[in-house]
């Protein structure tokens, strides 16, 4: 089945690709609404979900925070600054077989993993 992208979907994809900063759904909506004030928040949220499910963007789940959306769609790790809350890409190879190295004693068949590192970003370190 061929999925066709609507104009609204194209606007959402373009915003994620332009922002490059692991924006939240609200931040993406605000960026689009500045130029297209008639777009609905729900439309943006639905299209973010659709794009993530199609693999056109990467949905990054942030423990204790809002989900973020990444223009880089390959599997990679992220780090969240504990001071400002921003999310950054981690420059290290993804370990696709990590789940195989972990013995599960609870009966799970492990199918993948996500890891969110935490730390203090360089900007926040400078601020003290």
pLDDT digits (tens, 9 = 90+) for 15-68: 999 998 999 999 999 999 999 999 999 999 999 999 999 999 999 999 888 999
What is the sign, positive or negative, of the torsion defined by CA atoms of 114, 118, 124, 125?
A: negative
pLDDT tens digit sequence for 56-112: 999 999 988 899 999 999 999 999 999 999 999 999 999 888 877 887 778 888 887
**The domain over range 78-127 is classified in CATH as 2.40.50:** no
- Residue 2's pLDDT band, with cuts at 50, 70 and 90, is very low
Q: Break the chain down into helix, strand, coil percent, rounded to 5.
A: 40, 15, 50
Ranges of each domain in the chain: 7-58, 78-127
């Amino acid at each position: 089945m061929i999925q066709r992208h609507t104009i609204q979907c194209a606007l959402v994809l373009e915003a994620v690709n332009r922002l490059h900063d692991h924006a939240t759904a609200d931040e993406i909506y605000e960026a689009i609404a500045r130029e297209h004030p008639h777009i609905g928040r729900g439309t943006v949220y639905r299209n973010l979900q659709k794009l993530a499910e199609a693999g056109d963007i990467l949905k990054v789940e942030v423990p204790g925070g809002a989900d973020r959306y990444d223009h880089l769609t390959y599997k990679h790790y992220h780090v969240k600054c504990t001071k400002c809350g921003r999310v950054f890409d981690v420059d290290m190879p993804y370990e696709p077989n990590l789940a195989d190295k972990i013995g599960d004693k609870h009966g799970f068949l492990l199918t993948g993993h996500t890891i969110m590192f935490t730390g203090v970003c360089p900007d926040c370190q400078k601020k003290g």
